[in-house]
Structure formats: structure tokens, C-alpha cells
Structure 1
Amino acid sequence: MTDTPTTAPANTPPPTTTNPPPLDRAFYTWSTFFSILTNTAPPAHRTAYFLAKDTLNEARDCARCEESKAFLFAYSPVIRFLKHNIDLLDGSGSAQATISTSNVFCRRCGPDGNASGGFDPETGIKLCANEFRNRGHLEDTLAHEMVHAYDHLRFKLDPYDLRHAACMEIRASTLSGECRWAREFFTRGQWGVTRQLQECVRRRAVLSVRNRPACKGEAQAEAVVDEVWGGCFGDTRPFDEIYR
């Protein structure tokens, strides 16, 4: 899922979601960890625990993210294909018209866990280094945001228009691979067999639209997704078909 784009100077890395506070180890303990596992920790303790953990491990997480990012741009078929097709959309070589390792930034994000990355037309892609389970999860997130970048350049979409936002999320969730059956089954506890892809894409699109400031609630989000579903789910550009 992508973050809503924010205004920032061109060609500057997006800032971290929160400024690192002084590390409070009072919550970063085994007792807090086990209370989180057993779902007995108060919400404030849970938030404080993950904030302390992510702050302590920020350098390690970002280094691991940078290493995976470089590997994916060099060897991942889906990332290389998306980069090639983004490059074909504009021959100017401007930072706004290309996606590469230079404008994909690994950062520590807040402990809310609502997003693992975001695309900003002015600055590029932010990857939340503290949110990734493994390289495959990072690859799905990067592919998702690169589909957003492709759509921004190819179709000139307005991310603040709910219909455009719904279409962007439908396409990105469909084409990135994050809704493939194995990802849903093993990491999200979604065990459906029939129409699993469509249900995952629809669920994620509704959630994204619902979180937009202009959306008035769940019913409107569902209506907007239904309105654009047919054309957007069937549009697999730049792929010939759903790749993953």
C-alpha cells in the first residue's frame, strides 16, 4: 500500500516518518515482548516497544534494505522490467521520469505498520526498512510503488482523485505480486481458494481509498472501487498479463 504523496523539494530524500526520540529501554524487554505475543500488552506499550526496537535497529535495517534494493535492481526480473518500461516513458533522464537506486530511499518508518512504502512524484520511492520480513516482501513493495510511478508518468493520474487512487491501488496490488496466493496464505492468513486474487486486490484498494482524506467512509470507498474495477483490474500494462 502506498502512502499519500506529500509535497517536498524535488530530488531530496523523503524524511523519516518520525524523529528518533531518546531510546526508552523500559518497554524494550522480554516481558513486553511476550505480553505482545499473548495479546495482553496495552496499546501504548506495544507502540513504545516497536518504536524502541526500530530505533535501536535502524542502522542495521536500513543497511539490509539498501543491500536488497541493489540486488533487486540488478537481478529481479519484475523490477528490471518495470524500470525499463518507466525509462521508455520519458527520454529526458530527469529524476522525476526515472526510478533507480538513486531515488529509492530506505528509511525507518513509524510503528503503526500501516504501510511498507510510498511513492512521491517529486522525490521517488520510500521503503520502510523496519517493516520488511525478507527480500521477497521488499520486492513486492518496490514493484507496487514502481507501478504507481509508471501510472503517474503514463496516465498523469491525480492521487487526490478517489477514482484515480482506486485505480492506482487496483493495478499496483494486481501487478506487484503482493496478492498472489502464497503471499496471502502464508503471511496474511487468507485461506480462500477461489477468486483469492480479486478479493485481495479489492480489499487492499478499499482500504487505501478509505484512508484518503476526501473519502467519507467505507461505503464510499467500496462504491469507488466497484466503479473503476472492470477497467483497472483488466489493465495489465506494461505487462502482457498478470506476471506474478
Structure 2
Amino acid sequence: MEEEVGTNSSSKLVYGTTPQHCQQMINHSLAHHPMVKFVRGALEKAGCPVGDKFFKPEECSMQVGGGFKRDDGVVICSNHVMLQDEVDVALTHELLHAYDHCRAANLDWTNCEHHACSEIRAANLSGDCHWKRELNRGNFNIQGQHQICVKRRAQISVALNPHCSQDQAIQAVDNVWNTCYKDTQPFDRVP
């Protein structure tokens, strides 16, 4: 999400890791994680190559794993991630936002529907709503759990946008759901 990362250098480490360890996990993802490598390659093919300095760890005040800042790159919140898998998913998620920003010349992160579309796509394609992750969150429906998760996570992320209220976030996700949930680019299908 654009602008979802607030930094706070005085926060105490409750869950998470150090920025140095987070950077090591970022480097590992960039070198080894297939989805991270694929989306990064898709950015390059779309005309928006990103170097290693595009990715950085920060301590964040908001309870998020990371964020995309169009002018600064991808941030992974070291104080909210501890496991390599969390970094892999967060990087994939944020790279999908970067990909959307690259391919859509008129993407406006202050527009709740534009933001909702990117959040739907990122939650759907990043692995964020994998059934094991949802089970660990205590969410387990017999049918439709993936879609329920994608919608819930998109609504939460859009509601964090200072330009969108919670009601606007819910409405924006509903308004763009059919189109954006079906859009799996740069993948052929949901990975």
C-alpha cells in the first residue's frame, strides 16, 4: 500500500527482528524466492526495473508487514516480521503494488477504488491468503476462505489510507472486486 508505513525509531521490539536481520531476509528473498524473483522480473519487462536499493527494512509504527512508497521503494517493517516466510510474502505483496504502479499510468493512490484494486490483487496473488496463513490467524471457513481473506485484507489496507474511511474502503473493494480479483497479471493464474 502506498503511504501505509509510518516509521518510529523509538518503538520497543515486541514481535519482529532487527533491521539488520530483516535486511538479510530481504536479500535472501531477492536471491532465492521464486515469486519475488518473478514479480521483480515482470517489473523489469514492464519498463520499471528495480535495484537492490529499492528494498529496505524500517521500524514501522503501523501494524503492517511492509509498504510501497512510489518514490522510495518497498519497505519491510522489521519490527513486525520475524520469519523468512513473512518477508517473502510481504515483498511479493509490495512488489505487486509496484507492478501495478508501473503498468497503470494513471494510478492514483489517493483514489480509494484504485488503491482497492491493487490491494485485492496483492492479497490474492502474494500468498497472503494461503490457507495455512489464514488458519494461523484463526480464520477457517469451509468454502470461499481465500476470497473472504482477500476481501478482508484489502478492506483493512484501504481503510489505512488517509484518503479513505472504513466505509469508503468497504465500498471501494466491493465496486472493483469482480474486475480486480480476476486480474492475475503478471501471473497467468493465481499462484
SS at match of 1:98: coil
Counterpart-to-counterpart distance in 1, 2:51 and 2:143? 37
Counterpart-to-counterpart distance in 2, 1:193 and 1:5? 32
Q: TM-score, normalised by structure 1?
A: 0.72
Task: Tell me the residue number matched to 1:103.
Answer: 54
CA contact (8 A) 1:148 1:168 kept: yes
**Cα distance, 1:53 vs. partner?**
3.1
Q: How does 1:219-238 map to 2 (within 5 A)?
A: 220-238=168-186
CA contact (8 A) 1:83 1:100 kept: no
Counterpart-to-counterpart distance in 2, 1:205 and 1:118? 13
**Are residues 1:4 and 2:10 paired?**
no
Change (3 A) 1:215 1:118: same
Counterpart-to-counterpart distance in 2, 1:129 and 1:19? 11
Larger Rg: 1
Name the aligned partner's letter for residue 3 of structure 2. Answer: T
Q: Deviations over 1:121-152 (max 9, x none)?
A: 11111110111131001110000000000000
**Cα distance, 1:5 vs. partner?**
6.5
Q: How does 1:140-151 map to 2 (within 5 A)?
A: 140-151=89-100
Name the aligned partner's letter for residue 130 of structure 1. Answer: N
Task: Tell me the residue number matched to 1:215.
Answer: 164
Counterpart-to-counterpart distance in 1, 2:60 and 2:150? 24
CA contact (8 A) 2:43 2:99 kept: yes
Counterpart-to-counterpart distance in 2, 1:223 and 1:53? 35
Name the aligned partner's letter for residue 198 of structure 1. Answer: Q
Counterpart-to-counterpart distance in 1, 2:145 and 2:23? 32
Q: Which runs of 5+ in 1 are unaligned?
A: 7-15, 21-50, 91-96
Aligned residues: 190
SS at match of 1:178: coil
Give aligned-pair identity as a percent.
Answer: 33
Counterpart-to-counterpart distance in 2, 1:85 and 1:18? 32
Q: TM-score, normalised by structure 2?
A: 0.91
Q: How does 1:154-165 map to 2 (within 5 A)?
A: 154-156=103-105, 157-165=107-115
Counterpart-to-counterpart distance in 2, 1:53 and 1:119? 22
Counterpart-to-counterpart distance in 1, 2:175 and 2:51? 34
1:53 to 8, 13, 27: 13
Q: What is the root-mean-square deviation in Å for CA atoms of aligned residues? A: 2.0
